Structures are given as structure tokens and as C-alpha cells.
């Protein structure tokens, strides 16, 4: 018996919806001045960071593989990489500065969400694990987000952000 709602959407639709959702979250949650202030840094750590992440861990180390789509760029889904720019912008805008315990909780929570999204894309069939999984994604996200926070604080102390 065939399922009533067994719809198979192209992978590009998943990436487009994900990118649009993150863009909407950014527009709703972050004031325009915050977006202007953090745009370049979020593009570097979001879009370029995601692209480099996929190139290193997928293309060079062959730990996972994204399904090729109409908008793939170096075997990486362009829209998914682009979606990381608003995600990083939101992360940096709400980054706790005063309470160190809250910072670590925030960092670990964002890393868990990243691992959860990784697992979701795996379950949707857009991501194939070779020697990879949510735990590896979580650990990589901790390092990635810690780097973005460190860069943000270094620039902020110099008055460049």
C-alpha cells in the first residue's frame, strides 16, 4: 500500500527552505544595525567557513558527502553554505560576553543544534556519512564557533566591529 503523503522533494528545496528560514530568523531577531555591524564577519565565518569546512572534511578527508544539486559549488550545496552566514550572525549577535558559564552553555547549545541539523540532512538523504556522524559534527562545530567568537572578541576590542 502506498503512503498518502510520500512526497520526495528535490534536495535544492530543502536547502532553499533552510536558507530562507535562517534569513527570516536573522531579520526578525537582529536589528538592522546589528546586521550591518556583523555582516562581514558572519559572511567570513558563515559562508566561507562552511565552504572551507566542506572542502576539507568532505573533499579532502572524505568523511562525508553532500548529494550533488543544481546549485552545488565544489561538491558543496551553495544555498546551505550561504545559510550559515545568517546563522553565524545570530550566534555572534546574541553571544554572551559577561558570564563565562553562560558563554560555554551558549556555545555548546549552538554546537548541538549544528549536530542536529547535520543529522536531519542525513535523514533527509542529502548528506551521506562515510566516517562521520553527529558527534564529529558537534566537536567540529565547537571549534568553529569558538573560533568565530574569539575573532569577534579580538575585533571588538580593537574597535573594528
Q: Is residue 106 part of a domain?
A: yes
With b for 16 or more beta-carbon neighbours within 10 A and e for fewer, the 34-57 pattern comes to: bbebbeebbbebbbebbbebbeeb
Domain membership of residue 75 as a residue range: 36-156
Number of domains forming the structure of the chain: 1
Q: Is residue 19 part of a domain?
A: no
Instruction: For residue range 73-84, list pLDDT tens digits in order.
Output: 777 888 889 999
Residue 3 to residue 87: CA distance in whole angstroms: 35
Q: Is residue 132 part of a domain?
A: yes
pTM of the model: 0.87
Count of C-beta atoms within a 10 Å radius of residue 18: 21
Instruction: For residue range 23-64, list pLDDT tens digits in order.
Output: 999 999 999 999 999 999 999 999 999 999 999 999 899 999
Residue 152 to residue 40: CA distance in whole angstroms: 11
Q: Is residue 30 part of a domain?
A: no
Amino acid at each position: 500500500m502506498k503512503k498518502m503523503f510520500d512526497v520526495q522533494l528535490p534536495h535544492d528545496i530543502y536547502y532553499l527552505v533552510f536558507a530562507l528560514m535562517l534569513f527570516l530568523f536573522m531579520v526578525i531577531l537582529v536589528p538592522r544595525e546589528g546586521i550591518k555591524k556583523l555582516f562581514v564577519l558572519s559572511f567570513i565565518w558563515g559562508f566561507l567557513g562552511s565552504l572551507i569546512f566542506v572542502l576539507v572534511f568532505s573533499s579532502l578527508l572524505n568523511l562525508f558527502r553532500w548529494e550533488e544539486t543544481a546549485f552545488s559549488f565544489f561538491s558543496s550545496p551553495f544555498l546551505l553554505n550561504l545559510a550559515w552566514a545568517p546563522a553565524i550572525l545570530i550566534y555572534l549577535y546574541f553571544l554572551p560576553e559577561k558570564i563565562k558559564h553562560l558563554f560555554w552553555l551558549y556555545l555548546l547549545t549552538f554546537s548541538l543544534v549544528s549536530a542536529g541539523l547535520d543529522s536531519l540532512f542525513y535523514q533527509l538523504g542529502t548528506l551521506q556519512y562515510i566516517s562521520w556522524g553527529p558527534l564529529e559534527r558537534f566537536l567540529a562545530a565547537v571549534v568553529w564557533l569558538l573560533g568565530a567568537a574569539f575573532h569577534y572578541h579580538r575585533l571588538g576590542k580593537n574597535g573594528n566591529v
